[in-house]
């Protein structure tokens, strides 16, 4: 039986470093990006498209050849341009565009649902004029109105998004709920059975791995994670236990596999742990 590949999207160099207490020099970032390539992750998110990060991101984008290299962007076209500039030297450049989708986060951003759909559609369409790999990330999706989620996903797919990322931004979801949300979106969004689906979970209530696995069980085929679960607060979905669970419980996940090089797992974790120790 042919097995689906669960793609591994590593965001250690972006979300893993954000307010985590871990700092890296440019040399360390380049070495770590190359280690992630040796681990054989499918995608690496190298930073947020702020003006001060462009030169660092450019060097990271050129450091690897295999994975898709993403920068994170708001829907502001200037932000998208900065990310496009940052990843233009990559063999496989990509842009990950995020926008709040819960009413709570929309209020904080002072955006209406209609503005969210209009702005994200424009940003996605603009990015797709320049690169093939465009992700739309639904910030705080686990607390969003499901009908609005369908509407905004439909709009960005029409605009050219290749992947939709479902985010449990504030670590709110329980595994059954999160799996059912992913299944609902796959069933109700246009081209939901053919578009690529990804999940981005946080770990404040200790369920990032469980939620990610529930998503995979409901048809999601990309997991966004960090080495050692690095990230703000309780961190992001840790890469290692996701891989271990998919491998150890092949009786449950017999339909899927990953491209991860298991021989590099321990060394990659140790490399980040040593960098974190030096950050103290």
The 10s digit of each residue's pLDDT in 240-256 is 999 999 999 999 999 99
- Return the sign of the alpha-carbon dihedral for residues 145, 157, 243, 86: negative
Mean pLDDT over 48-66 rounds to 92
Closest CA to 265 of 8, 17, 13, 91: 8
4-279: which CATH topology? TIM Barrel (3.20.20)
Q: Give the rounded percent of residues in the chain with a pLDDT score beyond 90.
A: 95
For 2, the 3-state DSSP assignment is: coil
Concatenate the DSSP letters of all residues of 5-50 into one string: E-EEEE-TTTTTTTTSS----HHHHHHHHHHHHHHT-SEEEEEE--
- Return the sign of the alpha-carbon dihedral for residues 128, 106, 219, 36: positive
139's enclosing H/E stretch is strand 133-139
Q: What is the mean pLDDT of the chain?
A: 97
CB 165 within 8 A of CB 137: yes
Count CA within 13 A, CB hemisphere, residue 190. Answer: 12
- Crossing angle (nearest 10°) for helices 208-217 and 239-248: 50
Q: Is the pLDDT of residue 216 over 70?
A: yes
Q: Give the rounded percent of residues in the chain with a pLDDT score beyond 70.
A: 99
CB 138 within 8 A of CB 100: no
Question: What is the pLDDT confidence band of residue 77, given thresholds at 50, 70 and 90?
Answer: very high
Widest distance between CA atoms in the chain: 49
pLDDT of residue 280: 67
For the whole model, what pTM was predicted?
Answer: 0.97
- Enumerate residues 6+ apart whose C-beta is below 8 A from 71: 14, 45, 46, 47, 48, 49, 57, 82, 83, 86, 87, 94, 95, 96
């Amino acid at each position: 039986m042919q097995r689906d590949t669960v793609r591994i999207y590593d965001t250690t160099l972006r979300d893993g470093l954000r307010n985590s207490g871990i700092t890296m020099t440019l040399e360390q970032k380049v070495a770590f990006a190359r280690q992630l390539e040796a681990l054989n992750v499918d995608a690496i998110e190298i930073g947020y498209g702020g003006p001060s990060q462009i030169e660092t991101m450019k060097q990271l984008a050129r450091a690897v050849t295999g994975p898709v290299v993403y920068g994170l962007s708001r829907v502001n076209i200037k932000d998208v341009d900065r990310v496009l500039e940052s990843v233009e030297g990559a063999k496989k450049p990509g842009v990950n565009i995020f926008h709040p989708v819960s009413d709570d986060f929309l209020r904080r951003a002072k955006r209406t649902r209609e503005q969210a759909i209009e702005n994200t559609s424009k940003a996605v369409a603009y990015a797709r004029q320049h690169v093939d790999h465009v992700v739309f990330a639904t910030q705080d999706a686990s607390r969003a109105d499901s009908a609005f989620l369908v509407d905004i996903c439909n709009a960005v797919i029409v605009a050219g998004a290749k992947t939709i990322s479902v985010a449990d931004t504030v670590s709110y979801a329980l595994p059954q709920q999160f799996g059912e949300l992913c299944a609902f979106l796959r069933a109700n969004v246009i081209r939901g059975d053919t578009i690529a689906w990804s999940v981005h979970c946080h770990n404040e209530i200790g369920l990032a791995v469980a939620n990610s696995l529930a998503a995979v069980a409901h048809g999601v085929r990309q997991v966004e994670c960090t080495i050692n679960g690095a990230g703000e607060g309780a961190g992001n979905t840790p890469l290692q236990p996701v891989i271990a669970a998919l491998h150890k419980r092949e009786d449950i996940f017999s339909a899927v596999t990953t491209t991860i090089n298991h021989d590099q797992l321990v060394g990659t974790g140790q490399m980040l742990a040593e960098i974190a120790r030096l950050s103290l």
